[in-house]
Amino acid sequence: VTKPDRVVVITGVGGMGIAAARRLGTGATLVLADLDPVRLGEVASDLRTAGYEVIETVIDISDPASVTELATSARGVGPVDVFVHTAGVSPSHASVEAILRVDLLGTALLLDTFATAMAPGGAGVVVASMAGSLMPLDPGLERRLAATPSADLLTLPDLAAGTLTDPGLAYAIAKRGNQLRVRESAVTWGRVGARINAISPGVIATPMSAAELSGPRGEGMRQMLEASPAGRIGTVADIVAAVEFLTGPQSSYITGVDLLVDGGVVASLASAR
Ligand SMILES: NC(=O)c1ccc[n+]([C@@H]2O[C@H](COP(=O)([O-])OP(=O)(O)OC[C@H]3O[C@@H](n4cnc5c(N)ncnc54)[C@H](O)[C@@H]3O)[C@@H](O)[C@H]2O)c1
């Protein structure tokens, strides 16, 4: 009798998704999901060469039908033991509309759908961002971001096209929304005996941050890193260490929290103020 594999679902096969797949995918069926079929195929092929068992699913996380399809295909293998959500878009490339649709709505849909796809004892991590921890939002907006049903999120007047025009602000709102919805989801995920937490990375060396660092905000970001307690850019290994902790047995009493993994950037900015 062969023991059934653990099921590990990872959305996004960018810098963080690949690193998470390598660390968490040994002895598991890895279900990888991304919008970009070429990139997904390349990553899956590399991982298979390295001995991993991989299922590929092309999805758009902002499309409810697509998210349901991912959950169904994962459940076809078995209840999900580990769920890691890294898919997303960045404010240096994406429009306000795309950031809200993918980073805010997409994450909300995944949290809703995977609440019933998890195995008892399973655990998930949503990658938010320190952008969601940098500035306080209006408490009313925070309540709406936390509790509005996913299907109605994009019609919130706070997020209307004429009201919200800065992609950086849209990203901060989306990522704060992720942190708040993870807290809410701890309750629904708990009903099946699963946990869900967020990780908010600071500046991590991936293609996404390379674009930011070479853009108009690059110099300010470098100064911010130099002034931080860690004094360096983060690596995907820094993030995956936190993902491993939050999806592993050491954290069985932790759910609904956000773990800031930023080398102390938020602390040093708050202290400077
Ligand atoms: N890199 C950083 O410095 C940093 C810092 C803070 C937070 N983050 C967050 O971490 C997460 C992962 O970052 P990364 O550096 O690995 O990013 P990345 O750009 O390397 O990878 C993101 C992946 O998401 C996929 N994707 C985009 N839209 C999608 C959609 N609609 N449906 C499915 N897949 C989609 C892309 O194709 C890409 O493969 C993101 O949510 C990002 O906002 C990154």
Within 6 A (CB) of ligand 1 lie 12-17, 34-36, 39, 59-62, 86-90, 102, 106, 127, 129, 201, 203-204, 206-209
Tell me the one-letter amino acid at 50. A
The pLDDT value given to residue 219:
93
Ligand 1 centre from 11 Cα, in Å?
9
The residue that leads in pLDDT, 214 or 237, is: 237
Distance 120 CA to ligand 1 centre (A): 28
**35: DSSP letter:** S
Give mean pLDDT, residues 144-159.
97
Residue type at position 8: V
Identify the pLDDT of residue 3.
61
Q: What interhelical angle do 167-191 and 139-147 show, nearest 10? A: 50
Per DSSP (E only), the strands in 67-150 are: 80-85, 118-127
- pLDDT tier, 2 (very low <50, low <70, confident <90, very high otherwise): low
What one-letter code names the amino acid at 151?
A
Secondary structure tally for the chain: helices H, strands E: 11, 7
pLDDT single digits (tens) 75-89: 999 999 999 999 999
**Residues catalogued as catalytic:** 171, 175
CA 243/CA 236 separation, integer angstroms: 10
pTM above 0.95, yes or no: yes
Residue type, position 168, single letter = G
| Mean pLDDT within 19-27 | 97
Are the C-beta atoms of 114 and 9 separated by less than 8 Å? Answer: yes
- What are the tokens at 169? 């602000």
Distance between Cα 261 and ligand 1 center (Å)? 16
